[in-house]
Structure 1
Amino acid sequence: MAEDLEQKKNTHHKIVRVAHDLFMEHGFRAVSTRNIADACGLTQPTLYHHFKNKKALYLEVLRSELFDMQTALERIIKRCDDLEECLYQVTYYILINKPASISQMFRDIEKELDAGHRSKIKTWWIDAYQVPIASIFERGVKQGEIRNPDEFGSYPAASAYLLLNLISTNDSEQQHKEKMAKDQAKLYTKVILYGLASPSFKEARNEL
């Protein structure tokens, strides 16, 4: 019985892994359950034993992807004490590991899934990305390293969303990601924490 359960678990993970690669490469509509079953070396009835339809499988692919990101970010945050270093490491990790086909994913989510599924995915996304990053800013506020959010609305969730918007604009080709990610992560971290204005400019503005 234990072997049967273990085999079922392994098959489940294999289906998700193979479906992930196919969906990310070709998009939701272009991939059929037969394509996925064939790539897994399974029959379609066996695949349907694990997932009732293609949308259910696609949702599991997205949920798994986002859960893995959430786990990784929480691990990084847990081992980082320094505010700037923590933001840098998290930003760098996202830049290196975000899906190359994220634009295709967003199109599929918008066109192929209903409002209920989109709402569920949004919750997963917030839990995976925004909540962990917001916790870094929240810790910075508590430790007095970040100014009081009431001054200009820089609340942790909003700051996290701002950083994620900066990251999302980076669409470097895959072969350049490794080379550019460190510089981009450093830039985004500096902008979020310190802005781009020089000390002399800030002093001049304060004198007005």
Structure 2
Amino acid sequence: MYQKILDTAESLFMNQGYEATSTRQIAEALGITQPNIYYHFKKKEDIYVAVMRELADEVGSQLQEIAKENGSTLTEKLTEMMVYLQQRHPFDFYMMMHDMHYALSKESSQELYLLWQQSYEAPFVDVLKKEDVFLRSGVQAELAVKQLFILLAAYLQPDTYDKQGNSFPAAIDMFLYGIVKK
């Protein structure tokens, strides 16, 4: 039942956000009572943190594998990573960041932010820090990755119009090389 709770909660949290999802909704979706949920978790925040831990482990591992692949251009590699995120873990980036900063306890927020950095951001940073990628002087890979997520956040949302990731290559190319002809 523990895993079923996490799977159901993941879907609800990623589509509705933390604040809009209740333990009652999770229980109803599973056809159980709320006390059944509280047998496994003390409170809703514990469910959210467990969901995010599980996702971070899986996503981080897969993104690292993609980042290590050889033979792809920078645009292709970043596209493959973003398409993976879109297909495996569609989420509203802004809602998730809001939930992490304002809806959770300080301890949970700090834990999830570290998970985010390690599992979601770090593989992208690793790609940008490779020796064959030359960032402009003064551009830090960590800040560039944060900007990449902000730029592509709309494509990561659940039920986005482009489930195949067809818009990623053009968006990533514009991010990397700009839009103005020199």
> Normalised by the size of structure 2, how large is the TM-score?
0.79
Q: Does 1:114 align with 2:105?
A: yes
Which of the numbers 149, 153, 161 marks the counterpart of 1:168?
153
Rg larger in 1 or in 2?
1
1:196 is the counterpart of 2:179:
yes
Shift in alpha-carbon separation, 1:101–1:185, aligned structure 2, 3 A: closer
Within the alignment, does 1:158 sit opposite 2:151 as a pair?
no
Aligned equivalents of 1:115, 1:168: Cα separation in 2: 24
Native 8 Å contact 1:22 1:31 kept in 2: yes
Aligned partner of 2:133 among 140, 146, 149: 146
Q: Distance in 2 between matches of 1:59 and 1:92?
A: 24
Supply the distance in 2 between the matched residues of 1:121 and 1:173 (Cα, whole angstroms). 20
* TM-score for the superposition, normalised by structure 1: 0.71
Do structure 1's residue 18 and structure 2's residue 8 form an aligned pair? yes
Q: Which residue among 9, 33, 38 is the counterpart of 1:48?
A: 38
Q: CA deviation at 1:152?
A: 1.6
Report deviation, 1:135.
Answer: 0.8
On the 8 A contact 1:67/1:128 being kept in 2, the answer is yes
Q: Deviations over 1:113-168 (max 9, x none)?
A: 122222211111111221001111122xx2xx322x5x522233233223222212
Q: Which residue of 1 aligns with 2:60?
A: 70
* 1:126 to 1:47, Cα distance in 2 relative to 1, 3 A: same
Q: 1:127 to 1:171 in 2, by over 3 A?
A: closer
Gaps of 5+ in 1: 1-10, 202-208
AA of the residue aligned to 2:5: I
| Matching residue's letter, 2:111 | K
Q: Does the 8 Å CA contact 2:60/2:118 hold for their aligned counterparts?
A: yes
Match for 1:189: what amino acid? I
Any conservation in 2 of the 1:163–1:188 contact (CA below 8 Å)? no
1:89 has 2:89 as partner: no
- How many residues are paired up? 181
Superposition misfits of 4+ residues, deviation over 6 angstroms = none
**How high is the sequence identity, in percent, across the aligned residues?**
25
Structure of higher RCO (CA pairs closer than 8 Å, 6+ residues apart): 2
- Are 1:32 and 2:22 an aligned pair? yes
* Secondary structure of 2:161's aligned partner: helix
Task: State yes or no: 1:124 paired with 2:118.
Answer: no
Taking only aligned residues, the RMSD between alpha carbons, in angstroms, comes to: 2.8
The residue identity in structure 2 corresponding to 1:174 is D
Q: Is the 8 A contact 2:23 2:34 kept in 1?
A: yes
